Amino acid sequence: MHHKMKAALVGGAALLATAAVLAGTLNQPEGPAAAETPRPAATVQTTLPGLVPASGEPELPGLQGAKPAMGRAVQVKGPFDDRFVLEQLAFAHAAASGSVRITSDVSDLLELEVLAGFYDKQGKLLGTGRYLHHAEEDGHSHSGPPSETEKFSIPVPANLRGKAVSAAVGVPVLVNE
């Protein structure tokens, strides 16, 4: 009887091993496609605690506390201030304007965003406007040296005209080669 139990256990183990092999091959393609079909690799999931995906437009926290004098435009700090100089900043009742002169090495200005906050007489931030520059991907090479200065004008939004008396300006996006 002891011999029969051993045979039963060995037979059962062999049956389980055969079932496992068959289960692994049932969903596999046959023929030439089998060699071409990549088998799924082990995946690694990575999470970065506390990292929140970007949403909306880039902002400048300094706009909240800026209180430019009436009729003036001032610069607020941004993440790329070491790579450019804002020049000829001005505020007219219709727009904030000026130019961004790139001071870092540049072969082409790819992306530039200038953000302006508009303020009332009490220095309260009423709203914002943006100037966007996107490099054209036309596939043509440009002759001559790249331009290192980009002029901008950011109109006061229609709903703020007549209320906005000053502006604060900064650069939240700057990409150059």
Residues 70-108: b if buried by 16+ CB within 10 A, e if exposed: eeebbbbebebeebbebeebebeeebbbbbbebeeebee
Residue 50 lies in a domain: no
Same-domain status, 68 and 24: no
Local confidence pLDDT in tens for the 177 residues of the chain: 444 434 443 344 444 444 444 445 445 555 555 555 555 556 555 555 665 555 578 889 999 999 999 999 999 999 999 999 999 999 998 999 999 999 887 667 889 999 999 999 999 999 999 999 998 754 444 444 555 889 999 999 999 999 999 999 999 999 987
Residue 46 lies in a domain: no
State the total domains in the chain.
2
Instruction: Read off the pTM.
Output: 0.65
Same-domain status, 18 and 82: no
Q: Which amino acid is at 37?
A: T
Q: What is the CATH number of the domain that holds 134?
A: 2.60.40
Structural domain including 19 reads 2-36
Strands 95-102 vs 84-92: parallel, antiparallel or unpaired: antiparallel
